[in-house]
Structure 1
Amino acid sequence: MKQLKSISALSLISNLIRLLLVLSMFLSFISENYFNMFLGTVTLFLTYLPFIIAKKNHIILPSIFQIIILLFIFAANYLGELNQFYDKFWWWDIMLHTLSGIIIGFIGFMLIYILNKEKKVNVNLSPGFMVLFAFCFAVSMGALWEIYEFSVDSLFGLHTQNGSLTDTMTDLIVDTLGALLASFYGYMYEKYRKNNFFRRFIILFLRDNPDLPKDETNM
């Protein structure tokens, strides 16, 4: 029953987000704001991209994961860029970078967790090393994103970094804090088997991907 409700919520949210994006693209075309129309098109594509990658790699993303990803893309591009939330709310960019650090930190932990449980690979990584990998993975992704922002600003005259070293460093700092938080919960789960949200996410992910290696004692 819960799974059916999650699927229904996912369908409703994804359809609403994509409808808003299509409407925004149409209005941008009417007002001859072609940059916003292009940005809306890119955002619409991004709502499909994680699921295309997952399908290509034969991975099923649980409904709650898909909802989180869709809402993050919606908040970053539709609200942040198209509706100027970055300018209206000083904390919007900070919030999104913190969340991205948490989300990517979790992805990094799942990658190393699956590798560590894979019987075909002769590794036995300590909880400390696993969370160090997750932390470094998330911080590296944050740094690559700042390089991307600097590049598009330099090439196309945009202002994604607000022309400010302070903005860049603030983004990197909150990316790091988000990664640190995800790493902490990952360590508590792997070291002490704490029953936290991290464990619930892992159970959902492995439940929907039964072919992935897992530690049955944790399920």
Structure 2
Amino acid sequence: MLNNRQRVYMICANLFRLLLLGAIIGNVLTKNWLNLFTSILTLALTYLPTFLRDKNYIYIPPVFQLITLVFIFASLYLGELNEYYLKFWWWDIMLHALSGVILGFIGFVLIYILNKDTKVNLALSPLFIAIFSFTFAVSVGGLWEIFEFTMDSIFGLNMQKSGLVDTMWDLIVDSLGALFSSTMGYIYLKRRGASYLRNLVRSLLSRDGINKEE
């Protein structure tokens, strides 16, 4: 039985996939092979949250699956296929800032879980955890820029837009988003203040919502 959040995710996922199927058909009819490749890639990536949920030991709540799905749709379908990167100057900046924040949080959660796991002999300081979350996000951002360069070089795409300038600004914005997440994580660990982050960690640790955090 699906709960309300899972229903919302399924509705959004199926709606996005219908739009992508329409884009695939349109690209085949117009023989736009580059956009066809992007459409198929985006369609495949919409199944990524479900794949990670089924294969990963860490449960991914529906809200995180939806965030991932929306990000993929906004970056590839709206950004690449509908040229939002060209229509709106702030579109690329917004997505990279969000990716930095999200990846920084993911890095924080990963090392936070290891630090709390009694089976793993780790005793990390809040500063180290914050540094790890920051470098994790920046590293993934760097890998994405390598992916963009590879796609442009092999398939003749224009993912890098203005080349080096675009790449550097993307990395800068990624770093700022990562800095925000790591700073918030550091403040949380030092002050033990508001429990929003703790609730998010709990939801990732337990499929049925039972608190496994000591």
> What TM-score does the superposition give when structure 1 sets the normalisation length?
0.90
- Deviating runs (4+, > 6 A) in structure 1? none
Instruction: State the AA in 2 paired with 1:87.
Output: L
Aligned to 1:118: 117
1:200 aligns with 2:199: yes
Counterpart in 1 of 2:74?
Answer: 75
Q: Per-residue CA shift, 1:6-46, capped at 9, x if unaligned? A: 11211111111111111111111122222212211110111
Q: Which residue of 1 aligns with 2:166?
A: 167
- After superposition, give the CA deviation of every residue in 1:50-101 in whole Å (9 maximum; x if it has no partner): 3313322233210100110000001001100110000100110010011111
Alignment partners' CA distance in 2, 1:108 and 1:177: 15
Aligned to 1:215: 213
Considering only aligned residues, what root-mean-square deviation do their CA atoms show, in Å?
1.9
- Per the alignment, residue 134 of structure 2 pairs with 135
**How far apart, CA to CA, are the structure 1 residues paired with 2:18 and 2:84?**
19
Distance 1:169 1:179, change over 3 A: same
Where 2:73 maps in the other structure, the secondary structure is helix
Q: Would the alpha carbon gap of residues 65 and 101 (structure 1) be closer, same or farther in structure 2, given more than 3 Å must change?
A: same
Q: What is the correspondence of 1:12-51 to structure 2 with a 5 Å cutoff?
A: 12-51=11-50
Aligned-residue identity in percent: 52
Structure 2 residue runs of 5 or longer lacking an equivalent are none
Structure 1, unmatched stretches of 5+, are: none
Query: 2:98 & 2:196 partners in 1: Cα distance?
Result: 15
Change (3 A) 1:196 1:134: same
* C-alpha contact 1:60 1:209 (8 A) present in aligned 2: no
Structure-2 change in CA distance of 1:111 and 1:123 (3 Å): same
Q: CA deviation at 1:157?
A: 2.6
Opposite residue 215 of structure 1, the aligned amino acid is E
Are residues 1:180 and 2:179 paired? yes
**Residues 133-166 of structure 1: per-residue CA shift (max 9 Å, x gap):** 0000000111111122122222333221124321
Aligned in 2, Cα 1:156/1:8: closer, same or farther, shift over 3 Å?
A: closer
* Counterpart for residue 58 of structure 2: 59
Q: What does residue 155 of structure 2 align with?
A: 156
Equivalences, count: 213
- The TM-score normalised by the length of structure 2 is 0.92
